[in-house]
Amino acid sequence: MPPVPSPFDGLGEVAPGKLEENIEQLARHDLRGFVILGSNGEYVYLDEEEKVALFKAARRAIPKDKLFIAGTGTESTRAALRLTKIAAEVGADVAIVITPAYYKPAMTADALLRHFITLAEASPIPLILYNMPAYTGLDLTTETILRLAEHPNIIGLKESSGNLVKISEITRSVSEKELDFAVLAGSASFLQPALMMGASGGVLASVNVAPDHCIAIYKACQQGKVEESRKLQQAILPLNGAVTTRYGVAGLKFMMDKLGLYGGPVRPPLLPLNPTDQELLLKLA
């Protein structure tokens, strides 16, 4: 599933129509669904009204046979629950919720357990946990994740740490306990090994610009074609690195523009790619 970037027009306003166009193009590929307002959606720079406008646009565009996963994480439990309920009213199938992180020392296991369980108890749609330590500075522990996985309304985890031992421990434990809980790789940089360790799929920035390649990795793993999946995994690394850690959202949007989708500008304080970086990115891709 792609975490679809949030499109902005030349004046910096959200462009819901462009989001619809991008989803319609991407939906031609064999994707399981779409994540709206993940990290690549620049969700931290959007106000609630803008978020709701993009949720509504996404619901109009996402085919009914594909999942609509709405990013509803905020710093407070109250605000996250409010946005989750709004997303459900709009028609989202699932909410994906990132860890609150501003008061890091106070975000103990107990605080995070209460946050997510409170949301799960009151949410009208299922939740996916979103662990993104590179951005939040917090890393949900295996123990905390496994405790949350026991809640019937918490159905999965997007794990972006790249910790394959952790992924393996979680998938083994949920399998032994027969829990209905999916682990999703958070980057194409470790999609193949995560699938080999029991992950169910991935929410990957690279799906926006190389959907068929990412799908091929998944299918090769499902079919037990280990060598083929390994070669496909190695081949995606330069592009994935360019549109994630190296150039980030600006790089991803630039590549989308080059591939016939709408990338458009990033929202300040993020900076667009300079001409030199644009040339380097095209070479890497």
Residues serving a catalytic function are: 158
Rounded to whole angstroms, the Cα distance separating 4 from 94 reads: 15
- The b-or-e profile of 199-217 (16+ CB within 10 A means b, else e) is bbbbbbbbbbbbbebbbbb
Q: What are phi and psi of 184, to 5 degrees?
A: -115, 130
Query: Which residue do the tokens 């992180």 mark?
Result: 101
Q: How many CB atoms lie within 10 A of CB 25?
A: 16
Give SS3 for 3.
strand
As given in the structure block, the two tokens for residue 10 are 């030349």
